[in-house]
Amino acid sequence: MKDTKEYSVALHLITPSIINSPQVLSDRLGLPPSLFEQRHFESPAKEKMELRVETEWLLESELERNASLDEHIDDIISMIPPDLNIKSNNQIKKTYLNIGVFFDSRVIAVPMIRFPGEGIKFFYDTFPHFEVEIAHYASYDEDEDDNE
């Protein structure tokens, strides 16, 4: 069995309930989301429980999983207007790049991922509260294991 990696990459923007429409944020960013969700949380506030609503605006790479990490990141960057700079936007609570790493084996080790420096720098320079999140997934074929 070969040990290959595949990737999926998505940019997530989390906002408080002030922005409750994908169109509001899309107008500010100049592009539509791949996905838009609202999440409801109960959170303790002072002496009573309050309902907190957050919205999540996602922009996903449109490439197949077998594209390189660099290609996925470049694909997302190519969708973002070049003059966009919302670094000081206080309505965006969190921004993160979710990188899904898919392995074709049962054993998932912490991968050595070379981050494209300029690509990651672009996100840090453009979006407020930016983080990178990496998720690992096994994508092996059980029939292939039986044949070895």
User: pLDDT tens digit string along 105-120?
Assistant: 655 555 556 666 788 8
Say what angle helices 69-79 and 117-126 make with each other, to 10 degrees: 30
Q: What is the pLDDT of residue 116?
A: 66
Percentage of the chain beyond pLDDT 70 is: 70
* Rg, the chain, Cα only: 18
Nearest CA-CA partner of 97 in 7, 40, 12: 12
Question: β-strands 94-103, 5-16: how paired?
Answer: antiparallel
Residues 19, 72, 78, 85: is their CA dihedral positive or negative?
positive
pLDDT of residue 10: 94
For residue 132, give the amino acid letter: V
State the pLDDT at residue 113.
Answer: 61
- 29-85 pLDDT tens trace: 788 888 887 776 666 655 566 666 788 889 999 999 999 989 999 999 999 888 877
Q: What is the pLDDT of residue 1?
A: 38
Number of neighbouring beta carbons within 10 Å of residue 143: 7
Q: pTM for the whole thing? A: 0.76
